[in-house]
Structures are given as C-alpha cells and as structure tokens.
Chain A
C-alpha cells in the first residue's frame, strides 16, 4: 500500500467513524451500517467475480447461511458475539467449499447455474427446516454485548466499521499476494495456471472458501443489524443486486465494492421517492444527450453507437412521468442498470474514472523502469532430483498412444530425451507435436504407454503436479495471464517458492514479506534475462506478439524446471529477435536445463538442437543428430512429399 492510498484510507475511515456523531438519526446510521455490511460481502464476491472471473449467483445463499448460523446459535444456545462471529465465518466457508465442488468441473454459464441452484436450495432449506430455523416465521436477535456491556447503536456501528476496515485490509493483502495472483491466473488461462504448478482446482476452492467466509461475516453482522431475519431476504434478487454492485462499482477494486454497496443500499431508498426519480431520470437523459452530442461532435463516437443509450435514457425519463408509483418497478430499474453497466460501463465506475485518469497520466510520464538486477542470477541451475547424469535419459516415453475417438494423434511413439541436451521435435503440421507436449504436461492422459521423468512415472498425475516436479512449458498459442503485468505473470511461475499461508499474508509476517520481496527480485531478473525490462509493468495482453512469447519463456523458467518444453517459440518473431532467442535457449541449456523444442524454423532447429526426433502422422519416423536426420529419406519424403506412384 503506498502512502497516498494509506492517507486516503485513514481519512475515509475517520469520516465514516464520525457519522454517528454527525447524525443522531438512527435511520441514516442503520443505512450506512448496511452499506458497511454489504461492502464486506462484496469484497469477498469480488474475489470470485473480479479475480477468478466466475459468475456466482449463490452469494445471497451464502449470506443467508451466515445470517442463520448467527440466528440459530443465538436462538438455541444464546451464544455470545465472540462465538457467533467465528462460527458464522467457519460454517459459511464450509458451505463455500461445498459450493466449489461442482464448480471444479465447470465454468461460465454452467457455474452460474450451479451457484444459482445452490442459492435456491439454501433458501428452500431455510424455509423448510423450521425445527432449526423457525421457517418463514424468522428469528429475532438482539444487539450483541461485549464483555457484558450491551452495545448501543453507535457502538454497534463502530464495531461494523472496524470489521469492515479489517476485512478490507485482509482482502487487499490477500489479493496482492501470491494467492491473489493465483486467483487472477485462473481467469487469465486455467491451462497455463496448471502448467505453472498453480492447481486450478485447489485455488478455485480456495477462492470460494475465502469469499464465502466474508459472506458469512457479513451475514452474521446483518442478523445483528436487522435484529430480525427471515428466509425471503436471501432470494435471487439479492444475489443479482450483489453482482450489480460489484460490476457497477468496479471489479478488482475495494473502493469499487464500497461504492457498489452504497449504490445498492441508497438507490432503492431514492427510488421510493417518485419526484426524486423523475428529476434524476430527466437529468440523466439531458446529460446523456449532451454527452452524446459532444462525443459525436469530437468524433469520439458515431451517432449509431450513441443512439441506443440516448433513446434509452429519454424513454426512461418519459416512463418516469407516466408512472404513478416507482416501488413496484424497482426490479426493472435494476435490470436496466445491469444492462447499462454490462455494455457501457464494463470496468465499473472506479475503472471508468481510473481510465480517464490514466490516459492523462500516461501522457505525462513514459519513462521506462531502470535495470534492476544482473540477469546472470536469473535462472537457477536445474536441480537433479532423479540423480541422472548428464547424457543419461531424463525423460523416457515408451509406446505412447493418444487416441481421440478413431484418430490416433500419437501412435506408439518412444521418446528418449537426454539430460542437458536441446532435443528438437519436428514434423509437418498435424503430426502430433503439440499433442505430445500436452501428454507430457498432463493436459491429456495418454490412452496407453508410459512416461518416466527423472525416475518417476508421470502418467495420470495432474498438470500442476507434473509442473512442480520439474517440467515447465510454453504454449503454441500464447497463454499469458492477460490482465496481469509482465512481472506478475512471472511471479505466478514463482508461486512454488512461497510457503506463506493465508494467515502469513493477512498479518504480513516477516516470512511473507521476505518471500514476496524475493519473488519480485527474481521476477525482475528473469524479465531482464529475456530482455523485457522496459515492459515489466505493462499488462501482458498489451505486449507485442513476439514479446509475449519471450515472456512465456521467462514465466516457465520461474518454475525452476529441469525440463523446459518450448512450443514454437520463434513463431511471430522478427529475424533479430530469433537470433536473440537462440542465445536465450543456449543459455538455458548452459544452466543444465534440458530443453524440448518444437519449431518450424529449420535454421533454428538445425542451429541449436543436439538431438532430433521427427514425427509424421503421429508416428516417429526418425531419430538422431540434426545432420543424420536431414539426410534421412523418410524425413525428406514427409516434408517434401514422396514420389508419386
């Protein structure tokens, strides 16, 4: 956290803390309190929606689990606050893990449906299990007491505020740590995460559990705040409202969550007042029309693009004068807001403002970051876990068969890769080279055959497990974590160097600080090594294609591999870049890292490879030194076509 945000945070907290002193009105105090509670939930929801990029429609259900854990413990056992808060967090986190189980296998719309089903089941259970939850009657709860002193409204508000600030700090720290990077990597590219040793399964569950924990905390506080809970609160509309808050406030931003919470709490109250709504709608329509006029005038936008929002806002204003009561139309208004946010405000309010501000900022400064560390220390020499001498087989694949339906993409291939060599894998398009890579890294499980790496069989093990045992790779079609910076991408590769757990991160223990500092230094030197020093803080998706390939190599090296698989690293590179690449590959080998290289640029292949294997239609047709392979008749036939019969 830098100084500016720290100061802003302190001022903001102080202002919020002053609210009870400024207004004696319990209505407003309760409203701000609700905003704080929702903010806690949204911090958690943002982990799932903003960082791992999944749509969760189950958070109202989780919120309900938290509320009802508090309610039931209070009702049945008369439990005190210090028992109820951890219990609510724990129980809800467990439900989060349960929710994550089906979520392991599915993503996108399927996951959305799973979470929706989950939320619906929770609501049904709360309704039906009346022996525990009192069913539709609901549960009454009184304000908590601490050390025998009953909290009044002011004291409870301060309790809420301190828990909100606590949650904010914890979430912020977690998301800026290796855990947050792992969550974000899932969104960027699940396959690449697995191949960097960051298990998609594990971190998806992790994200859901952490997220659910915050939902539980929020739910428990909500029970105390409302002093009465009933099943109907935790419905589909609430879950959609939460999502609206996250995307409208701004994904991946704590400020955005706070803003979103304020919007969904205050807006319905505003909407209760029809005159107010008419004014707001009119101002919005006029503003939109003027804005569109300016945008078209300055040629920032075409009349066609602007037509829909302008007509929409004018229609909304007209609609507001036709209406007699607005409360009934609340949900439609929220629906329209979602549509608007999804198409015109994708980065939320915070993202939009940041975008405006950044555009100005980049105009002012553009100086590259200075060279930080010597690159000679960047690559760590390969460890020799299997005690395999240079020149012996590091990787032995026997009788590999990979069948997709009737197609044998790899057919009875043996592959022996000697330690410390650069082993080229060539063949015409569709000959099974990339399939081979995917089999070696556990993305596909071979139909038959065995693979022994450093003395251990790897068939059937998960991608992340194989990655951690020392096989790193790059991808033919670049699989970077697009929204993360170059440095963060490499840091995901360094995930295996972290031993810190959630608590270390939340408390910023010396261990975590040390590991984080080390990963930054190491990441920088790896980026220097591939020559991307100037682009270290650029988002990966904004890098030129060739540079993206180099960044993938840096990220793979961060895994400290014994074996590095490079899938067409020279594709899309310019001639000088290719020369540099050859140098990089050689340097990698000089550190004792074995390399398997798939490449179509024959000059690269013939220049750097010690050994070559040639595939054609899934079968290995030749093996040997580059010179031998070059004169092999079968190879020539495969590449240039045989004599017509």
Chain B
C-alpha cells in the first residue's frame, strides 16, 4: 500500500506543476502574440518593423503605472494607455520610418527604430528610475483552482484581453472601409496609392495601432511581472521570434507560436534555471530562420528576377 501511494502522489504533483507552468506559459505566450501581432500590422502595410516594439510595451506599462499611482482606476487607465500608444507609434513612424521609406533605405529604418527605442528606454530610465517597480494588481491575487492547478485571475485577464485586442483590430481591418485601405496597402502599396488611398497615412496608422497593442499588452502584463525601463528589450526580441515562427502574415500562427514559446520558457525557467529562460525563444528564432524563414504558418514568397 505504502509503496503504491507514494509514486501516485508524486505523479499528481508533477502534473499539477506542469499544468501550472502551462497556464502561466499561455498567459505569457498571449503577450508575445500581441506584440507579434503588432509586428505583423506594420509589416503588412510597409514591409518594415519597429525594432523598438519592446520599448513601446515598456512605455505602455510605465504610463499605466503612473496613472494607477495617481489614483486612476485600472479599467480607465487601459484606454488612456491605448491612446498614448497610438500617439507614440505615430511619432516613431513619422520620425523613424517615413523618411527611410521615402529614400528606400532598409538600413535607415532598422537603425532609426533601434535609435528611437534606445532613446525611449533612456528617457524612461531618467523619468522612472532604473529599478524595477511593483504594479498593483487590479484583481485579487489569490489563485483560483482550474482543473487541479492554480491560476491567477490576472493571467486569465491577460489571455482574455489579448484575444479581445487582436479580434478588435482584425474586425476593424475586415469590416470597415478604413481597414480595407490597410488591407489594400498591404496587398499592393503602389496600386493602393493610385486608387487614392493615402498610403503614407495608412502606414502611420499601422504603426500607431502596433504601438497601441504593445502598450496595451504592457499594461496588462505589468501586474504579473516587475515593471521597469529594461522590461521591453528582450520581450520585443522574443516576440519577434513568435512573429517569425507564426509567419509574418498568419494570425493563427502567432497565437500558437506565442503559446509554444511561453510554455517552453516557463518550463525552462522552472526545470533549468531562470537565468536561461530567455534562451529557448532566441534559439527557436535562430532555428526557424535558419530552416524555414517564412515561418511555420507563413507562405513562401516567390522571388522575382
């Protein structure tokens, strides 16, 4: 009897821990998916990416924290952060990307979005300090039992919020006339221009949306992690891994990719060492780019000569 019970208990423990790791992995993964979604938005309209996407997320979290500390309700804060993100994204596009698109310099936009990212991070360090801060949780911090494992209410909110945000943007793109302009610009920038669409404005708008989703994600994830000026850089890079795994033009891909990466990370952090937790994402990025650059869900583009 004694012998039979012990392994059983042990097994339950393992299952519970694993499930818990999966839960927090999913929550983290949804954040990656949202940032990756932001990459997709700009990539679709202009073939460019914001290398400072992680810093947009950080700014969203920091602005959110300041608002909450000034007594603004969490739920009121979220839309304000989204508006802030919209503005920040538009600024990035106008200063960093539009001039580079004009002179058709790939090097130009890569370097200038990196430069803007550095500036944002540095400014944040000077405003909010270099130390990580605690973001008060709007929901009870006591875990709920779900299928036998603990899950934080905040984690559920993150998953829910991420999905809502992505669906909202998708709805906008598919159902409204402005969204159709975005899709048209994605399909053929020159043709869209000839049809009277102000493609420059569409691109600016896509950057605004992209930063808004990142900022929103930042404010959502902040209560679960520590909030600080450096929180964005690695997040942005790993989200790029997700965007690549999912393919830069596949919506489902990034959710799957995000969850894969999130779970890979929480399990590595638990079983190996938290120091290594960033490694799986980065290695995954290197592998996918080395083996299948169009991503697991993306389509290979035919090069024309």
Contact = CB atoms under 8 A, between A and B. Distances in A.
Contacts of B275: 124, 127-128
Contacts of B83: none
Nearest to A343: B99
Given A120-B234, A236-B233, A328-B125, A338 B278 contact: no
Contacts of B48: 109
B238 to A, nearest CB: 9
B20 to A, nearest CB: 24
Interface in A105-151: 105-106, 108-110, 112-114, 116-118, 120-121, 124, 127-128
Interface residues of B, number: 47
B252 interface: no
Contacts of A102: 286-287, 289-290
Interface stretch (A72-80, A200-208, A329-337, A506-514): A329-337
A247 B111 contact: yes
A112 B109 CA distance: 12
Contacts of B123: 332
Contacts of B149: none
A240 B108 CA distance: 14
Nearest to B119: A335
Contacts of A404: 302
Nearest to A120: B282
Nearest to A108: B106
Interface string A87-117: 0000000000000011011101110111011
Contact of A339 (B51, B115, B234): B115
Interface in B170-190: none
B147 interface: no
Interface string A234-259: 00110010010001000000000000
A113 B240 contact: yes
B293 A106 contact: yes
Contacts of B114: 57, 240, 338
A472 interface: no
Given A105-B289, A339-B116, A112 B110 contact: yes
Contacts of B105: 342, 346
Interface string B234-269: 100100110010000000000000000000000000
B286 A438 contact: no
B273 to A, nearest CB: 7
A108 B43 CA distance: 13
A462 interface: no
B78 interface: no
Given A117-B237, A404-B302, A331 B118 contact: yes
A118 B110 contact: no
A342 B103 CA distance: 11
A204 to B, nearest CB: 13
Interface string B89-120: 00000011001100001111011101110110
Contacts of A247: 111
A526 interface: no
Contacts of A57: 114
Contacts of A29: none
Contacts of A237: 118
A543 interface: no
Q: Which of B106, B273, B291 has most A Cβ within 10 Å?
A: B106
Contacts of A110: 244, 289, 293
Given A104-B290, A106-B293, A335-B119, A329 B112 contact: no
Nearest to A476: B305
A434 interface: yes
Interface residues on chain A, size class: 35 or more
A118 B112 contact: no
A458 interface: no
A interface majority secondary structure: helix
Contacts of A121: 279, 282-283, 286
A585 B119 CA distance: 58
A104 B105 CA distance: 21
Contacts of B107: 53, 55, 342
B194 to A, nearest CB: 21
A443 interface: yes
A120 B286 contact: no
Given A117-B237, A191-B305, A124 B278 contact: yes
A332 B122 contact: yes
Contacts of A116: 237
Interface string B212-245: 0000000000000000000001100100110010
A475 interface: yes
B285 interface: yes
Count chain A CB atoms within 10 A of each CB in B49, B106, B244, B305 and give the residue with the most.
B305
Contacts of B122: 328-332, 335
Contacts of A191: 303, 305
Contact of A128 (B234, B240, B273): B273
A335 B273 contact: no
A338 B278 CA distance: 28
A298 B303 CA distance: 45
B94 to A, nearest CB: 11
Contact of B276 (A53, A109, A128, A332): A128
Q: Which of A53, A339, A477 has the most CB of B within 10 A?
A: A339
A475 B305 contact: yes
Given A334-B118, A339-B96, A343-B112, A443 B290 contact: no
B111 A243 contact: yes
Given A117-B285, A240-B114, A332-B119, A342 B278 contact: no
A55 B123 CA distance: 25
Contacts of B118: 237, 240, 331-332, 334-335, 338
14 contacts: A55-B111, A104-B290, A109-B49, A117-B282, A120-B237, A120-B278, A236-B233, A237-B118, A240-B114, A328-B126, A331-B118, A338-B118, A343-B112, A443-B303
A-B CB proximity, top 8 nearest: A338-B115, A102-B290, A335-B119, A331-B122, A335-B115, A117-B282, A335-B118, A332-B122
Interface of A: 53, 55, 57, 101-102, 104-106, 108-110, 112-114, 116-118, 120-121, 124, 127-128, 191, 236-237, 240, 243, 247, 328-332, 334-336, 338-339, 342-343, 346, 404, 434, 438, 443, 475-477, 479
Given A120-B234, A335-B115, 16 more contacts: A55-B111, A102-B290, A117-B237, A118-B282, A121-B279, A124-B275, A332-B119, A335-B116, A335-B118, A338-B118, A342-B100, A343-B99, A343-B112, A438-B305, A476-B305, A477-B305
Interface of B: 48-49, 51, 95-96, 99-100, 105-108, 110-112, 114-116, 118-119, 121-123, 125-126, 233-234, 237, 240-241, 244, 273, 275-276, 278-279, 282-283, 285-287, 289-291, 293, 302-303, 305
